[in-house]
Amino acid sequence: MELPSRALLWKLLLLQRPSGSPTAGSSVVSESAVSWAAGTQAVLRCQSPRMVWTQDRLHDRQRVVHWDLSGGPGGPARRLVDMYSAGEQRVYEPRDRGRLLLSPSAFQDGNFSLLIRAVEEGDEGLYTCNLHHHYCHLYESLAVRLEVTDDPRAARAYWDGEKEVLAAVRGAPALLTCVNRAHVWTDRHLEEAQQVAHWDRQPPGVPHDRADRLLDLYASGERRAYGPPFLRDRVAVGADAFARGDFSLRIDPLEPADEGTYSCHLHHHYCGLHERRVFHLRVTEPAAEPPPRASPGNGSGHSGAPGPDPTLARGRSVINVIVPEGRAHFFQQLGYVLATLLLFILLLITVVLATRQRRRGGYQYADKKLAKSPGKDVNLAEFAVAAEDQAPYRSEDIQLDYKNNILKERAELAHSPLPAKSIDLDKEFRKEYCK
């Protein structure tokens, strides 16, 4: 299908709306039911990293356009030229320098068309115009096919149903059209003013279109609080919400009248972000505090009767489980007993040996003491042996058969008691001393 003129093609390109259109309605990305006890702090989580607002620290290099050329279907593409929104332009091939041009005001008027001053045979192929927005995470691409001919009457531009096809004469200039005037590619300085977050509240039974506005937050730092007075002073959002992307709503303390549906709306008009998160808040009764325990020595008018079991009050029971001891535990205890008994026996043997050694040393000391005093008079009368104290030796009569009388007499003499002999020890001692 051939177009009568290029003007109609440009109108079709301008009518194409990017994916980040500001007129797109907000979409519900999450819906959840939460419950908190009255008197506590309720936190409704609303976070989005795409809402983090940072100033351009890359010297306006968050937007870039580049043209690529593909020789054939499925073939590798090579980079021809690229340009950042700051105006810096770079041509990759030395032979293309001064021959491929982009408009320096492309990011102001939205015209990213590529001009080839003199078309050559090697310029034929599929060209793609690629637009990248690193801040908004956007990517758009437009394809144009270039055909080179030697017939000036065959030079034309038409639409093949998917892309524009341009037939150019060899040696003549060719303009590959790529136009996108969406504000995200042109109005860079409006991103701060077009970024806003707000919270809405619907009391029970109130439809969404009649919700009450609670808070408005702008990336510029401006804040506006709405809502009923009983709730306005108890709700808050972090001061660094746009720096961290955390727009969670905190209600402290929570009251039963705070029940309802809360909505977190995040709008980034510059990037085309419109999200909504819904929370159905239910307020429960506060947990009952356990009764204070009476001290055992306190005689204050409390009765001595035991109170109710706290485990039964919570609907729980306590079960005592007795685990039988294993066989290894029995042998371990037996080892302890045997070791103790062996230690006691060793201690007893040591005491006995020490006692015997002490006694033996005492006897030796007494003998040495007596040997050291030879000149001492000894009264031998103390050692006199009384004949009366000696018990007579009486042997039983042994009836033996002797062969002769001599043997019999000798036997009787041996068995007869000796006559007692009185010995004067003093007299004998004097005899020995006088010698």
Q: For 226-246, what is each residue's pLDDT tens digit? A: 877 878 889 999 988 888 889
- CA distance readout (Å), 272 to 19, 141, 215, 223, 312: 8, 17, 21, 22, 57
Of 139, 170, 154, 158, the C-alpha closest to 62 is 139
What CA–CA distance (Å, rounded) separates 61 from 87? 9
Backbone φ and ψ for 405, nearest 5 degrees, come out as -75, -25
Q: Do 188 and 63 meet the contact criterion of CB atoms below 8 Å apart?
A: yes
Measured at the alpha carbon of residue 371, what is the angle toward residues 366 and 372, in degrees to the nearest 5? 100
Backbone φ and ψ for 33, nearest 5 degrees, come out as -110, 125
pLDDT tens, 241-261?
888 889 999 999 999 988 999
Alpha helices in 61-151 (DSSP H): 106-109
pLDDT tens, 386-408?
444 444 444 445 555 555 677 77
pTM, whole model, 2 decimals?
Answer: 0.46
The token pair that represents 81 in the structure block: 């030229």
pLDDT tens, 16-66?
333 333 334 678 889 999 998 988 999 999 988 878 765 555 555 578 999
What CA–CA distance (Å, rounded) separates 106 from 89? 11
pLDDT of residue 133: 85
pLDDT of residue 292: 63
Of 243, 111, 135, the C-alpha closest to 188 is 135
The DSSP letter of residue 234 is T
The HSE-up count of residue 244 (CA atoms within 13 Å, CB side) is: 11
pLDDT band at 12 (very low <50, low <70, confident <90, very high): very low
pLDDT of residue 50: 77
Prior bond of 253 cis (ω within 30°) = yes
The token pair that represents 246 in the structure block: 């955390």
What CA–CA distance (Å, rounded) separates 313 from 292? 15
Alpha helices in 187-261 (DSSP H): 229-232, 241-244
The rounded radius of gyration (Å) of the Cα atoms in the chain is: 60
Of 36, 52, 54, the C-alpha closest to 247 is 52
Average pLDDT over residues 81-85: 90
HEC string for 76-92: CEEEEEEEECCCCEEEC
Query: Residue 83: pLDDT above 80?
Result: yes
Residue 65 identity (one-letter amino acid): V
